A = this chain, B = another copy of it.
Amino acid sequence: MKQYKILFFIADGLGDRPVRKLQGKTPLEYVDKPNIRELLKNSIVGLMDPISPGVVPGSDTSHLSMFGLDPHKYYRGRGAFEAIGAGARLKASDVAFRGNFATVNNEFIVVDRRAGRKIEEADDLVKELNEKIGEIDGVKVRFYHGTEHRVAVVLSGKGLTDKVSDTDPHEVNKKVLESKPLDNSPESQFTASIVNKLTHKIYEVLNSSEINKMRVSKGELPANIILLRGAAEFVELPQFESYTKLKAAAVSATALIKGICEQIGMRVVTPPGATGGLDTNYLGKADAAIELLKEYDFVFLHLKATDAASHDGNIDGKVYAINKMDEMIGRILDKFGSELVIAISGDHATPVEVKEHTGDPVPFLLYVPYSIINDVVNDFNEREVRRGSLRIRGLDVINLLLNYSNRAEKYGA
């Protein structure tokens, strides 16, 4: 049986609800998509719940699930995945925290939980912290800057656990909290003591930093503490190739998605001009996928623009991004004709009038380059795919792709 290569195209936040400005159509219904429509001649389609019906996915839990990794097993909290998104590459038993640059007075009372939010010097502050705090009691400490006031802090070493409480009091005019062990293990006691020493060390470094002196002299709040929350132990992710036998690569410009793909061993490419925004280099991403498909069995192509427009409530932007998405598919079809298995979906719905993720199911399309019983539908959108045969969960995706590319191994004899 001929084995086909696989293109898996995710338009982030693709799913939507009827939009008044689009005459009650969803953006996917509104946009004419001649290239995707062409695929429908030999596709099975339907709805996918990235996690399970009604559960509102994050992009992290959803991608884990669609890559075949059950988030209930591998997702231990946002800390670890925020760190991955901020550039950290984690090892089993690393413990990661989400953190805010914040402002405290000399009694450790929180004056501003975000030190004014926009902190232009955040990268430099993180660099200074990494230089001046290498380790504490044998535990390696690394800092990563996310966006605005957000940082991730990763502890690596023996005897660590995520069973410790936050130092973030989650309110102003409260004192920075002591981290407490959340169970009776020596690991929690040890980790809490590291976190508390670290908090004082961070204050020491930041409060005497020249950068903060400059901020104060400009009338800005000093970013003189990091409030930590959401301790999460990283559970080592299996390597994608080990459980799929697929040589895999990804095209993405989004830090969190790139991080997840790298952690599971995919080669990750961000072509020039790819931004993760509406201004991204759509066809450049398609071309990058085309190049990778020459060498790899499986190429994951991630488009963030649809989600970015949705979070901004930018209806025209979402319509534009979906038009571009169809062009990307067209470009790939021009090169590969009907030689690929192609899946197209979203990692969750971000209805453009809601501006947040919702737990609605997302349309899913699976094109197969040989004769199958195809689902007879007229378009690829939230309404029309309900007439298709698929009603799957994110965890089913990889199995479907392996099956229809003739690469699945029999489960049993």
Contact = CB atoms under 8 A, between A and B. Distances in A.
A304 interface: no
Contact of A372 (B18, B62, B71): B18
> Which range contains the number of A residues in contact with the other chain?
35 or more
A380 to B, nearest CB: 14
A37 interface: no
B375 A408 contact: no
Given A359-B399, A360-B403, A396-B53, A60 B18 contact: no
A243 interface: no
Given A356-B1, A360-B403, A392-B53, A61 B373 contact: no
Contacts of A390: 53
Contacts of A403: 54-56, 358-360
A399 B55 contact: yes
B372 A408 contact: no
A408 B56 contact: yes
Interface in A373-413: 373, 375, 382-383, 386, 389-392, 396, 398-404, 406, 408-413
Contacts of A307: none
Interface string A47-91: 100011111111111100000000100010010011001000000
B359 A412 contact: no
A389 B392 CA distance: 12
A83 B18 CA distance: 49
A17 interface: yes
A123 B55 CA distance: 47
Nearest to A382: B373
A256 interface: yes
Contacts of A1: 354, 356
A411 B18 contact: no
Contact of A256 (B361, B372, B413): B413
Contacts of A404: 54
B360 A51 contact: no
Most chain B beta-carbon neighbours within 10 Å: one of A51, A61, A399: A399
A23 B102 CA distance: 71
A371 interface: yes
Given A54-B403, A359-B399, A403-B54, A71 B412 contact: yes
B382 A386 contact: no
Nearest to A78: B413
A32 B26 CA distance: 33
A198 to B, nearest CB: 23
A24 interface: yes
B411 A55 contact: yes
Contact of A400 (B18, B356, B357, B359): B359
Given A24-B371, A53-B392, A396-B52, A411 B71 contact: yes
A146 B412 CA distance: 16
Given A401-B54, A413-B59, A47 B82 contact: no
A378 to B, nearest CB: 15
Nearest to A368: B17
Interface of A: 1, 17-18, 20, 24, 26, 47, 51-62, 71, 75, 78, 81-82, 85, 256, 354, 356-361, 371-373, 375, 382-383, 386, 389-392, 396, 398-404, 406, 408-413
11 contacts: A47-B389, A52-B396, A52-B399, A54-B396, A55-B411, A58-B410, A58-B412, A60-B413, A360-B403, A389-B391, A391-B391
Closest 5 CB pairs of A and B: A58-B412, A54-B399, A61-B412, A359-B403, A54-B400
Given A24-B371, A61-B411, 8 more contacts: A1-B356, A18-B373, A58-B411, A59-B412, A75-B412, A359-B408, A361-B389, A373-B383
